[in-house]
Amino acid sequence: MTDIRFRSDIAVELVDHMGGDSSIVRAARVSSGTAGTPEKDRGLLNMLARDRHGSPFESVILQFRVEAPLFVAREWFRHRVSSFNETSGRYTVLEPEFYVPQGDRPLRQIGKPGAYRFQEGPYEQKVRVKAAHERVARWAWDEYTSMIEGGVAREVARDVLPLTTYTSFFWTVNLRSAMNFLSLRWAHEKSTVPTFPLHEIQQGAMKVEEHAQKVAPIAMEMFSKHGRVAP
């Protein structure tokens, strides 16, 4: 019997990047031809974020490797101003890795579409949800592997796998577009624009932001300072 793995995390690794705060400043200064000091550069980044002078933020490029269940990946892929390369279920046999909600994942949905609030849910519900995820994953994986062993093409056999199946992809995105992603996928306390993201994609967004902060710390500080709206 295959050793099925269950996990609940969204893994986000920064594999490469180009530029940082100084590249944004350099790109912006071409328009005025002025020279800067560290203090003036900080002021410039503040102004660019505040007044939504967005294009200089495109000078920073981030490339991530993400591991996430399919239901998270499909939301991530909606961010068109970026590039994706995903593991193929046609060319490779997929890994037996499936998402299962952790105990702290809110389970009860209250309110109306676009403005839901979530509550934790009772213990019995947690047990039921976890068992259902695990049962379906095991059943689907058995069918998947038995079809492949029986000579069925991988691209057909994979059809039975659930949305909880993990996939992995490379995501290449400039900082301006990453800020747009962060503004939509993290209901941050400093955000001036309301958003109601999926719990799991928000876990991924938090990790994206952690990496972006290391690459362009002042730009990310100004993004937060000015309401977490993409410039």
Decide whether 130 or 199 has the Cβ nearer to ligand FAD: 199
Stretch that binds ligand FAD, among 59-67, 116-124, 155-163, 180-188 (CB under 6 A): 180-188
Q: Compute the 3-state secondary structure of the chain and give helix, strand, coil in percent, each to the nearest 5.
A: 45, 20, 35
Q: Is 69 exposed, middle or buried (0-12, 13-18, 19+ CB in 10 A)?
A: buried
Residues 6+ apart with CB under 8 A from 161: 70, 89, 94, 140, 141, 144
105 classed as catalytic: no
CB contact at 8 A, 12 and 105: no
Smallest distance, Å, CB 3 to ligand FAD? 35
| Among 172, 196, 206, 221, interactor with ligand FAD by CB under 6 A | 196
Q: Calculate ∠ Cα 169-174-177, nearest 5°.
A: 90
Decide whether 177 or 203 has the Cβ nearer to ligand FAD: 177
Smallest distance, Å, CB 217 to ligand FAD? 23
Smallest distance, Å, CB 9 to ligand FAD? 21
Decide whether 80 or 90 has the Cβ nearer to ligand FAD: 80
Decide whether 161 or 184 has the Cβ nearer to ligand FAD: 184
| Among 164, 167, 177, 202, interactor with ligand FAD by CB under 6 A | 177
Element (H, E) at 118: strand 117-119
**Burial code of 12-46, b = ≥16 C-beta within 10 A, e = fewer?**
bebeebebbbebbbebbbeeeeeeeeeeebbebbb
What is the distance in angstroms between the CA of the first residue and the CA of the last residue of the chain? 52
Tokens at 96, concatenated: 């037996």
Candidates 105, 158, 176, 185; catalytic one: 185
The 68-87 site mask, x for binding ligand FAD (CB under 6 A), equals ----------xxxx------
Residue 184 binding ligand FAD, by CB under 6 A: yes
- In the complex, the residues that contact ligand FAD under the rule CB under 6 A are 78-81, 177, 180, 184-185, 195-197
Catalytic positions, written as ranges: 185
